[in-house]
Structure 1
Amino acid sequence: MDEAFPFEGKVFVSDLQGPVTANDNARELTSALIENGDRFFQAVSRYEGVLANIVRKDGVKAGDTLRLILPFLKAYGATDSSLLRMSREGLRTVPGAGKTMRYVQEFMSSFLVSTSYEHYVGAACEEIGFPFENAFCTRLSMDMYDLEDWESQTLRNLAQEIARMPLIEVPENARNVRDLGQDDRPLVRRMEEIFWSEMTDLSSYQLISQVNPVGSDEKATSVVEICKRLSVPLEDCMYVGDGVTDVRALQVVRRSGGLSLAFNGNVHALREADVAVISDNTIITSVLAEVFYRGGREAVLEMVEEWGMDELRRSGLVHDYLLRECARLFPGRLPTVRRIDKDNMASLVEESSRMRAKVRGAPLD
């Protein structure tokens, strides 16, 4: 994999869904392939949230919905070629993302780390002209597994049972299963039976037991590995994330003196990032990446304190091309870019959530 590490100097690492693309790919695939698939996906996702955040079940983490749904996708006919085709056909990029990724590659070693399936990440890399070998993502092959008809039907029946379930409601301050409502606790127990008892003897259960989605810890490990292989200190790394699976990477980079940026981030990402970017175009990422490359973290934080076109021009750190594009795209004022602190956290969460819904089509958290 040495060819994936072309430069020395500073490093740029970004999540894919959110900062670069506008899809919720796993949910979209599930909705298209499985009867009542969107409801099914929501139900499994709520259950995963209970396991990861409340029960804290061993071996379960944020992002594991992507492995829990795999046997059901297989039962409804998913193949490697169909996942790739559907990912290509449904791909939506955040405005400016292709230009941003190509621009940043000109002066920084650039990488993607994503919880998404490799089929979707490959489709996205094709679209934005990014080398797939520089992407860390969830690897799997649907075609390695064959299902007999009876097993497919069993999984389809379970999928429809799950889709008919009420969605688990999790109180904001819930700390254990007893904090859930009386109607929700039986739902958790039934999900427990399905995923950890009834399905375990099925051949397709290997998709759950053997696939390891790239979650928060895996993303952080990937960032550390990239910097180690390049012999670049973490303080020379810029990380862009937007959600719960980016928390550890944002945290590691920030604590090491690098730049952690939440692009239209949810509350989890905003809690761990240095800077919030709230924008419907990724050119702001391009600007901050160039400033980071030329002046480091402190130059970015200084610019953010006086954020505006005048400061961009005065700094001497932003290419004329980016200045012209910013003026063209945002003739009134630039999108919100703020240093995150406890005083502005609540307002940034609210504003970022609105932009997140606008850019990605619907609230995802």
Structure 2
Amino acid sequence: MVSMDFFTDWEGPWVTTDFALEISEVLGSKAFFERLSQYDDYLYFVERRKGYNAGDTLKLLAPFICVMGLDSKKLKALAENVRFVRDADAAMKILLRKYKPVVISTSYDQFLKTSAGKIGIQDRLHGTRMDVDRLSEYFDDRDREVASSLIEKISKLPEIKVDVENRTVNESATRTIDFLNDLFWGNSDFSKKIRRVMGEVVVIGGRKKLETLLAYEPKERIIAIGDSISDFEMLEWVRKRGLAVSFNGNEYALMNSSLAVISNSAFSEAAVVDAYLANGFDGLKEFLKLFEDKKWDELKDVVDEEIVEGLKCSETEYYLLEGSVGSDDKVDPKIVEKSKRMRKLVRGDAGKLG
């Protein structure tokens, strides 16, 4: 029996908000989280630190949330300001008539559950678990002063720019990496408290995303949607067995996907889910050909009519990605550039993050 599940990331494919970035703005600086996110890319992709997973940025951020007094109630209130990808509500409601989404997101549970409920998803939600109210008790007023100073200092450090092809970083990044290495892995009392909190935060990113997917024991017509480095392993595994979809993805997502979706509308990914789960790769290929030829009436025989109507009003491009994971084949730089350009257009500042 063909499964009616589809697996998807949340921030990027369905919401434009990067909740961690929003939290950082409340803490005083978006640049603070941008540096942590860049450091995350470095630790996972360049240094390949043992035991470190893509998306563990939320471990790095968690101690600052706790020490600065952002309790669970405040996080949920901040999550009420979620911004969705255009047409996300309508597209998801159409999919929910026939299929069962499994949302596997690096975002904190407080955000995931609050935002997903707004478009009708009540269960099968897997996000990062952080008992912020209990973990806040590890810190005192003096720690808060230290954290406030650190947020300001980190915000002013040089950017870490990762060369994905060569797995290297820019020369000026060394100062930032050294500073953050000392902070997170050093021997100061504050560093020890940081690691204590980090050790109790369960991040759903990297390998954990794949493990969550595998717990559903998918067998036929497996489809997963992602957009960033934290989706790396999940997309890589699915690509070998089903359909791995990059939605306005960056290099990390594209290099492990079988289909690139570049769009300003969630109808574009809903169409792919519907075509593939209903009729497999044959249905997907038929959809892509009809879409390319703009045969709207015939498309309605392949995917839901409402989805087709939504696609007509969108800016959407699809690209089947050749080659296999780990091969010498590389994603066409023009596709990478188009995808990243749309990513920034749709998500704003969040589109710059890995």
1:263 match: 247
Percent of paired sites with the same residue: 23
Which segments of structure 1 move beyond 6 Å, counting only runs of 4 or more?
none
1:11 to 5, 16, 20: 5
1:275 match: 259
1:3 match: none
Instruction: Output the TM-score relative to the length of structure 2.
Output: 0.88
Give the alignment of 1:293-332 within 5 angstroms.
293-308=277-292, 309-310=294-295, 313=298, 316-327=301-312, 329-330=313-314
More helix by share: 1
Give the secondary structure class of the aligned counterpart of 2:6: strand
1:335 match: 316
Give the alignment of 1:83-94 within 5 angstroms.
83-89=75-81, 91-94=82-85
2:14 to 16, 20, 27: 20
Please state how far the C-alpha of 1:135 moved relative to its aligned partner: 0.8
Q: Which amino acid aligns with 2:347?
A: R
Please state how far the C-alpha of 1:15 moved relative to its aligned partner: 0.6
Say if 1:170 and 1:262 are closer, same or farther in 2 by CA, change over 3 A.
Answer: closer
Give the alignment of 1:138-287 within 5 angstroms.
138-145=128-135, 146=137, 147-171=139-163, 175=167, 181=171, 183-197=172-186, 198-199=188-189, 202-203=192-193, 205-226=195-216, 228=217, 232-233=218-219, 235-256=220-241, 258-287=242-271
Give the secondary structure class of the aligned counterpart of 2:85: coil
Give the secondary structure class of the aligned counterpart of 2:118: helix
Please state how far the C-alpha of 1:78 moved relative to its aligned partner: 0.8
> Is the Cα–Cα contact under 8 Å of residues 226 and 253 in structure 2 kept in the other structure?
yes
Uncovered stretches (5+) of structure 1, i.e. residues with no partner: 1-6
> Is the Cα–Cα contact under 8 Å of residues 278 and 337 in structure 1 kept in the other structure?
yes
Give the secondary structure class of the aligned counterpart of 2:260: strand
Uncovered stretches (5+) of structure 2, i.e. residues with no partner: 323-328
Give the secondary structure class of the aligned counterpart of 1:336: strand
1:130 to 121, 131, 134: 121
Q: In structure 2, what is the Cα distance between the partners aligned to 1:292 and 1:312?
A: 19
Map Cα deviations across residues 183-225 of structure 1 (whole Å, 9 max, x no partner): 4434322221111122566545422122131112111111111
Give the secondary structure class of the aligned counterpart of 1:187: helix
> Is the Cα–Cα contact under 8 Å of residues 301 and 339 in structure 1 kept in the other structure?
no
Give the secondary structure class of the aligned counterpart of 2:199: helix
> Is the Cα–Cα contact under 8 Å of residues 263 and 317 in structure 2 kept in the other structure?
yes
Alignment RMSD, CA only?
2.4
Say if 1:248 and 1:149 are closer, same or farther in 2 by CA, change over 3 A.
Answer: same
Give the secondary structure class of the aligned counterpart of 2:295: helix
Q: In structure 2, what is the Cα distance between the partners aligned to 1:285 and 1:12?
A: 11
Q: Which amino acid aligns with 1:99?
A: A
Instruction: Output the TM-score relative to the length of structure 1.
Output: 0.86
2:352 match: 364
1:81 match: 73
1:291 match: 275
Q: In structure 2, what is the Cα distance between the partners aligned to 1:128 and 1:340?
A: 31
